[in-house]
Structure 1
Amino acid sequence: MKRRDLLKLTGGLPLMSTAYAQSAKPAFGRSRPGDPAWPSDARWQALEDQVGGQLVRVRSPLEVCTATPGSAACAAVFKGLKNPYYIRDDLALTQTSGWADAWTSAPSTWAVAARGAPDVAAAVDFARQHKLRLVVKGGGHSYQGTSNAPDSLLVWTRSMDGIVLHDAFVGQGCTSAPQKAISVGAGAIWRDVYATAAKAGRYVQGGGCLTVGVAGLIQSGGFGSFSKRFGLAAAGLLEAEVVTADGKVSVANACTNPDLFWGLKGGGGGSLGVVTRLTLRTHDLPNFFGGAFATVKARSDAAYRRLIQRFMSFYRESLFNPAWGEIVRFRPDNTLEIAMVFQGLDQAAAAAVWKPFFDWVAASPVDFALVMPPMIVAVPARYFWDAAFLKQNAPDVVLSDDRSDAPAENVFWRGNLGEAGWFLHAYQSTWMPAALLAPEREAQLADALFASSRHWSHALHFNKGLAGAPAEAVAAARDTATNPAAIEAFALAISAAEGPPAFPGMAGHEPDLALARRNAAKVGAAMAELRKLVPEPGSYVSESNYFEAGWQRAFWGANYPRLRAVKDKYDPDGLFFVHHGVGSEDWSPDGFTRRV
């Protein structure tokens, strides 16, 4: 090679770097217990004094299972792991017990049970000054294990659960028109927020699972049952109070720290700061909410393939609109499970929508059987999250917190029971572009859905794609950090496999890793069939593969470089680390060592 050619090549190398490359930073290691740099007892005592006695040495209830795995006390703990409220109320536990070959839930060493932003700021300052791994737990629902880490300091926001309604909210530093809104502490869960808003005749867009934490869902983008009408939960954020890496308590909205505000709307929880309060836009409450449920079984593979195509055609014609959300599941045993919700329709109107499809099924008894006959129910929207109403009128739909001292309003959807404490074998998602619904691609889509079901069950979550939503909901979503693929998608396809709560090395409660790996391979094969239709697959950060390759583009698409710039501005030293979070590529997988 000639010298001038070598100079041209080396001169061009900076332009050939990846989109995510950053300026080099020195290697850095966080402290662990036993390290010389680990804080002394006196320093921990000083932190305890600063937070008014809210510093807690973490002890997991699972310790009894390590010592006496067959005891009644251990059995009581595992019974509790199927109660999401039990998990929520213990700072050492997480709603997911682990993921095969990925992570296992493990408690922090110390925790600050924060009562407000000053306690959070004290914990952030302490972690920064002493080079500690910092973790934040709100609802504890992270599938990726981001709300726990051994040898860390935990900020636990459980007590920060206040809720305040506003008739005329204006963000700090803003001059925009007042809006109806609701302010929520970082430790609140959606059940309480929905119920409070509904009593005032309002609706706030949040998550579908009642025990999910508000702050984590908003920061991850956030889809709920009625997102096809009201859009992303993050798009409804009007203002956030947040503690940044320098320990300052700041406000972020469209007028104050607007870059941080944008990043908090879908940039992933735990990466940019610790959110302590959120103010969300509210909407007028619809007259009715309801659900449509049925299970259809095809008697042959050919009939099942035909059933899939007919349903997708019916969806395009009748359900691809803001009224309908939630899921249809495709199973390897040739069953189609319908579990959809609707808003703004009464029961008769909803039943009329479905009549053509069920008439078509009934016309071919040789090919199809209704394993579960259609059930379409509507209730006044003001009662949809009323615990007393649900327990009296829909006892098969909800379960209650079974602890003797539990508040009466502690209910959760029966359909979420399997997720309590589960041990994941695999979890993958892919947004499905609305272009696949075009009549000329109908057969291709049906072929892929059928082929995927030969490997493992999978579901289309129609409320987690914003194609078909109102224009204002789509426009608001574009002003978030969420992957733009969500805006163009008619649904999010999800395939997953799981087992009961399990912990490696705990006698009698160990995961079946051989089974988990077989199931993971089947999930991968199922999703591969669907991804053949999507040139650049995008994935929802909260419901994604722990081992996602190219996660920056999968989770955030073209938004990632902008997110990385926000990260470098507000957290230049990487105090906030989560698996596959913004800037995590600079760190070792456990978040303790920054790579050179």
Structure 2
Amino acid sequence: MSDANCWPSLSVWQNFNESVHGRLIPVQPSVAFCSGNPPNDDLCNNALTEWTNSKWRSDQVGSMQNHNWENTSCSDHLGNVTCTQGSVPRLAVNATTVEHVQATVRFSSAENLRLVIKTTGHDYLGRSTAPDSLLLWLHYMKSMTLIEQYISCTGENVANAIRLGAGVQWGEVYAWLSTYNLIAIGGASITVGAIGGFLQGGGHGPLTRWKGMAADQVLEFDVVTADGQRRTVNACENKDLFWALRGGGGGSFAVVLSAVLRTFPSPSIVSALYTVSALNEDRYARFIHDFIRFIPILADVGYAGYFYMTDTSISIALFVPNGNFTVATAIIDKLIKNNTDLQFSTNSTHLFPSFYDYFALIMASSNLAGGNVLLGSRLIPEEIVRDQPDRVAEALFQARGLSKTQSILIGHLVAGGEIAKISINNSVNPAWRSSLLHMINAQTWDDGTTVNDQNMIASRLRVQVEILDTVAGGAQSSCYLNEADPNEPNWKQKFFGTLANYNRLASIKKELDPNGLFICRNCVGSDDWSTDLNCPKRSSANRVDVTMFLVFLMKCFYTF
């Protein structure tokens, strides 16, 4: 192809690259460092060493936290480093300013490109990656500002609000706020993005029982909408969008540049850690029944936390913000004393002076990534946990993880409490307001597992979720949209609580983004598109393949 023939497309990309100050970059999968000819041994060895490091993964433009969403031939275990691109975008804009974001949004719209948005790659539904797309990468928009006296648009005076940029991660927020003895309501993983899909999907975490969902804390957003306009979004301006962004899901309505959130004085933390094993399934089942009967008692004194069930073992990490150490530990001791015949490999209680002290020592290290995983989840109503604990216990026993199938059942005591009491008008799935437990069945598999076997694994996960459904409300059950099964049937109702909730979100999206620039899998408005999200169902106009432009650039010897 001659320069003259490829020049018009090349000039378009050159002009765009100039508009984003040269920040258009090629994207490669995680282990593409090892696929060169010859490979770069230093980069390759570093990639293999850091393969399960969540922070390293969040720093790589082409990496997802879970390798299955890259969907390439690359593998750190098989020694197969002839990488295909898979689901990884071809090109990205490493955006660091508002102008970079606006230029990318306008360019993608004008050229009819598939656009995806990513900050860290923490996405269990693969929403922040797509083949042959242009990636808007917000990872390095890292501003954090403390506003000692924030006056909201409604006149509320809020002490110590914070404005967080698009790329800030919760570990960074917690460490920064600890210097002020403050805390924000965030996630359990240090590398989760603070204001991206986590926040926009509702956001649960260790302190949500104490103060409400992360989305409940938002005072204002600064966004770029699909028309490339920058807008302030709060209770007075763009009110419908304000409602939608607080729970309606990330990647759907606008690019969030920053958000203003409430903070709180950091609580002290009473911590209780236990790892319990039984010699047989019958004895294990009896303990699970005791434990579930005890959960309402723990909840009533302010406990929150997590538990992990596999085979005949359970690991329990519970904590009470601003709890009385003597009272809190005495209550949980009753549960332990009733089961002294079990094996305890961990049995400890401790008082931490601040949340950050607790988080840094107990939670921050639980941050592995790089594996292949599917999740299926359900929110368990508080009424059922309190009134029918034996039914709940039996369902959890049946749905527990098994080593032989590489699965684990993860319990989250993160609902109830203030989540149930807060009456904030936002789009968080209303099932959160009436639930006590959020249960996840996590299914993993090894690299090299055949497609047929992966399909069998996905089917097995559906069976496990159906067991949870028996105590989650059956046909009316709900789940957390950020930790859900990507193959979830009836996802609109399950993710968003009610079809009325979904339909209102869809109406807002249609008004703000009529051409569907912000589209992702099982997100608001995605049902108007083909399965691969490249073809609108009511039009013959398809997304333009970025690969075509990349070929032009390569043939014209253009590098970024």
Instruction: Report the TM-score range of the alignment, normalised by the length of the smaller protein.
Output: 0.7 to 0.9
Deviation at 1:239, TM superposition (A): 0.4
Give 2:383's aligned residue: 435
In the TM superposition, 1:111-122 aligns within 5 A as: 111-122=92-103
- Residue among 451, 460, 485 paired with 2:411: 460
Give 1:423's aligned residue: 372
User: What CA deviation, in whole Å up to 9, does each residue of 1:261-317 have, x standing for no partner?
Assistant: 11000111100010001110111211x124321122223333222211111111112
Q: Distance in 1 between matches of 2:179 and 2:365?
A: 23
Is 1:359 equivalent to 2:337 in the alignment?
Answer: yes
Q: Distance in 2 between matches of 1:579 and 1:313?
A: 38
**Residues 1:349 and 1:80: Cα distance change in structure 2 (over 3 Å):** same
**Residues 1:174 and 1:442: Cα distance change in structure 2 (over 3 Å):** closer
Is 1:329 equivalent to 2:308 in the alignment?
Answer: yes
Give 2:510's aligned residue: 568
Give 2:418's aligned residue: 469
Q: Verify the 8 A CA contact 1:207 1:222 in the aligned structure 2.
A: yes
Is 1:40 equivalent to 2:9 in the alignment?
Answer: yes
Q: Distance in 2 between matches of 1:582 and 1:494?
A: 22
Q: Distance in 2 between matches of 1:568 and 1:67?
A: 44
Give 1:523's aligned residue: 461
Equivalent position SS for 1:375: strand
Q: Distance in 2 between matches of 1:122 and 1:291?
A: 48
- Residue among 536, 541, 545 paired with 2:481: 541
Q: Verify the 8 A CA contact 2:158 2:262 in the aligned structure 1.
A: no
Q: Verify the 8 A CA contact 1:94 1:105 in the aligned structure 2.
A: no
Deviation at 1:518, TM superposition (A): 4.4
Equivalent position SS for 1:245: coil
Note the residue ranges of structure 1 that are not aligned, 5 or more in a row.
1-35, 399-412, 503-509
Equivalent position SS for 1:525: helix
TM-score by length of 1: 0.80
Is 1:384 equivalent to 2:322 in the alignment?
Answer: no
In the TM superposition, 1:160-175 aligns within 5 A as: 160-171=141-152, 173-175=153-155
- Give RMSD over aligned pairs: 2.7
Deviation at 1:228, TM superposition (A): 0.7
Q: Distance in 2 between matches of 1:564 and 1:327?
A: 34
**Residues 1:188 and 1:282: Cα distance change in structure 2 (over 3 Å):** same
Is 1:369 equivalent to 2:320 in the alignment?
Answer: no
Give 1:414's aligned residue: 365
Deviation at 1:61, TM superposition (A): 5.4
Give 2:22's aligned residue: 53
**Residues 1:381 and 1:306: Cα distance change in structure 2 (over 3 Å):** same
In the TM superposition, 1:4-23 aligns within 5 A as: none
**Residues 1:178 and 1:97: Cα distance change in structure 2 (over 3 Å):** same
Q: Distance in 2 between matches of 1:182 and 1:489?
A: 29
Q: Distance in 2 between matches of 1:126 and 1:570?
A: 17
Q: Distance in 2 between matches of 1:56 and 1:99?
A: 20
Q: Verify the 8 A CA contact 2:307 2:411 in the aligned structure 1.
A: yes
Q: Distance in 2 between matches of 1:55 and 1:415?
A: 34
Deviation at 1:568, TM superposition (A): 0.7
Q: Percent identity?
A: 30
- AA aligned to 1:497 is Q
Q: Distance in 2 between matches of 1:164 and 1:322?
A: 34
- Residue among 539, 563, 584 paired with 2:526: 584
Deviation at 1:67, TM superposition (A): 5.0
- Residue among 282, 287, 290 paired with 1:302: 282
- AA aligned to 2:489 is A
- Residue among 92, 98, 102 paired with 2:68: 98
Stretch deviating more after TM superposition (548-557 or 191-200):
191-200
Give 1:8's aligned residue: none
Q: Verify the 8 A CA contact 2:309 2:401 in the aligned structure 1.
A: no
Stretch deviating more after TM superposition (153-162 or 234-243):
153-162
TM-score by length of 2: 0.85
- AA aligned to 1:203 is I
**Residues 1:69 and 1:145: Cα distance change in structure 2 (over 3 Å):** farther
Deviation at 1:369, TM superposition (A): 2.4
Equivalent position SS for 1:124: helix
Equivalent position SS for 2:481: coil
Equivalent position SS for 2:396: helix
Q: Distance in 1 between matches of 2:280 and 2:215?
A: 43
- AA aligned to 2:516 is G
Deviation at 1:459, TM superposition (A): 2.4
Q: Distance in 1 between matches of 2:45 and 2:441?
A: 30
Q: Verify the 8 A CA contact 2:379 2:439 in the aligned structure 1.
A: yes
Is 1:447 equivalent to 2:394 in the alignment?
Answer: yes
- Residue among 478, 481, 486 paired with 2:432: 486
Stretch deviating more after TM superposition (559-568 or 74-83):
74-83
Deviation at 1:74, TM superposition (A): 3.6
